Amino acid sequence: MGTEGGNVRVIGGRYRLEAIIGRGGMGVIWRSSDTLLGRQVAVKELAVDETLSEDEAAQQRERMLREARAVAQLRHPNIIVVHDVVLHEGRPYIVMDLLDGGSLADRIARQGPVDPVEAARIGLALLGALRVAHAAGVLHRDLKPANVLLEAGTARVVLTDFGIAQVAGATTLTESGGFVGSPEYTAPERMSGGGAGAGADLWSLGALLCAALTGESPFRRDSLGGVLHAVVYEEIQPPPEAAPLLPVVRGLLERDPARRLGLDEAERLLRAYVATGATPQQAPPPGAYTPTRPDMPAVHRQKISTRVLLVAAALVAAAAGAVLAATALLAGRDGNTPQTPTSSASEPSRTGSASVSPTPTVTVTRSETRTATPRPTAPTGYRTVRDAKGFSLAVPEGFTRSLDGQRVFYMSPRRTFRIGVRVTGTQEGGPAAAQRRAAADGPSTNPGYRDGKVTDTSHDGHDAALWEFTWDGFSTSEGARRTIDLCWEEGGRMYDVWVSAPVSRIDEARAYFDAAVDTFAPSAG
């Protein structure tokens, strides 16, 4: 039953959960003992949405585990070390380093804001962590003071809780009126329901720097609706305390992701300030920091306002009896490409963790009755295709079909995003062996192949393997791409589903991957 000695639980046959040291919307953090290696660790018990059907809950757990395993591959001194991922009695757990020290949020609550030099030092550490994560196709999605740990005695800054703030395959503002994330630190492109890439983490860093310097986010308001309005609509006024780092803060808090300060420039400016005490002045991009620019299409302005009102209305509904549910999730995916046939196609995964959150991750949803279905229906903006190769799945509107031997592709215009499917007979050794054979051939089939990783996992109760890698694309114009490939056997067939996309647009690719995998169904044909 996972217990030992009264109420003390043991998970994974080795991790003894001893005391709760943190609690938030994403789950509970336990101080634990690794009885096998005789060391103390932190174990995060992830929250699972109790309103989901059994099938939906299983899919949610699989996504969380895939994401956790992928983050476990990240190695950087400013990223939490993930030792293990465990599924115990239907609930996911993440085993991490146990750090002596609290979060940045704890420090601000106890001692007040930090000085500009310390804020710049923290910012540089977080940029280093994000650089490694983004290069591996991992987005954080919930960068805030509560997810930044400060190790006692070393001054080391450690980023935790990757990928948990957004339901995989969903936008931040959902069609049902729900909000997922930490609103005071969430980028406006996510608020408005659009695709969000690595730049969304940089916006969150800008809000975090303001919080470190003043004690609170510049978007803190009395209600969630007020926060959303401030993020996507009000004029942004960086606080006076941010003056020493103003070019960095203003550059990061640029609403247009295309004009937002990039990681390299933010790092250069912060290093210059730490070295000289004066930040080099940089004019903000044209049109920055205004709620609605003249060049912003009216339909886009209306979309932003409509979604803000939608969430505000959801809050009123919540007060009248809607459900407030704190949900922790992890997301992630990537894909393969069409031009050169490969011997096999397959897929990968990720995670992070630790500390009490004074600004909880919030999910607001309307109460509704859910009924179990064999497969989720196509999300808004997708269509269900029934392919002659013997399967059906949801693909985004506008994607067109292409055939390359045994491989079927559904591709976006200009082939920026490529969803691939391959159906074959079973193979010797099953999905894991097939994926590892494909990974071994990776350098010969994918130019510039690197960061390849095959992880054993499951899909709808079937043994599966996830292969994830970065490569250079088939032409210099494509640039670096990330591929996520899931392979499993079912009904005497082997199925391979993958998505390939530019590294900089991995968040969109993950949404496509999740929709494809979650809605995929074998069929006769």
Which residues are known to be catalytic? Answer: 142
Say if residues 130 and 267 touch (Cβ distance below 8 Å).
no
| Helix H or strand E segment including 37 | none
Burial of 519 (0-12, 13-18, 19+ CB in 10 A): buried
Distances (CA, A) of 139 to 116, 166, 291: 26, 10, 26
Say if residues 483 and 468 touch (Cβ distance below 8 Å).
yes
Token pair, residue 76, equals: 């950087």
Query: Bridge-partner residues for 173, per DSSP?
Result: 179
Q: How far apart are CA 160 and CA 111, in angstroms?
A: 22
Closest of 124, 8, 62 to residue 347, by C-alpha: 62
**DSSP assignment, residue 415?**
G
**Inter-axis angle of helices 199-214 and 116-135, nearest 10:** 160
Amino acid at 24: G
Greatest pairwise CA separation for the chain in angstroms? 68
Closest of 355, 351, 330 to residue 98, by C-alpha: 355
Q: How far apart are CA 34 and CA 28, in angstroms?
A: 17
Say if residues 523 and 511 touch (Cβ distance below 8 Å).
no
| Rounded (to 5) percent helix, strand, coil in the chain | 30, 25, 45
Which residues have a Cβ under 8 Å from the Cβ of 101 and sit 6 or more positions away?
149, 150, 151, 152, 153
Sign of CA dihedral 312, 315, 317, 323: positive
Q: How far apart are CA 114 and CA 259, in angstroms?
A: 28
Closest of 441, 428, 450 to residue 345, by C-alpha: 441
Q: What are phi and psi of 471, to 5 degrees?
A: -155, 175
Closest of 279, 259, 260 to residue 269, by C-alpha: 279
Strands (E), 142-212: 148-150, 157-159, 179-181
Say if residues 331 and 166 touch (Cβ distance below 8 Å).
yes
Q: How far apart are CA 162 and CA 148, in angstroms?
A: 11
Alpha helices (runs of H) in 338-495, residue ranges in sequence order: 430-440, 442-445
Token pair, residue 301, equals: 């302005």
Say if residues 328 and 364 touch (Cβ distance below 8 Å).
no
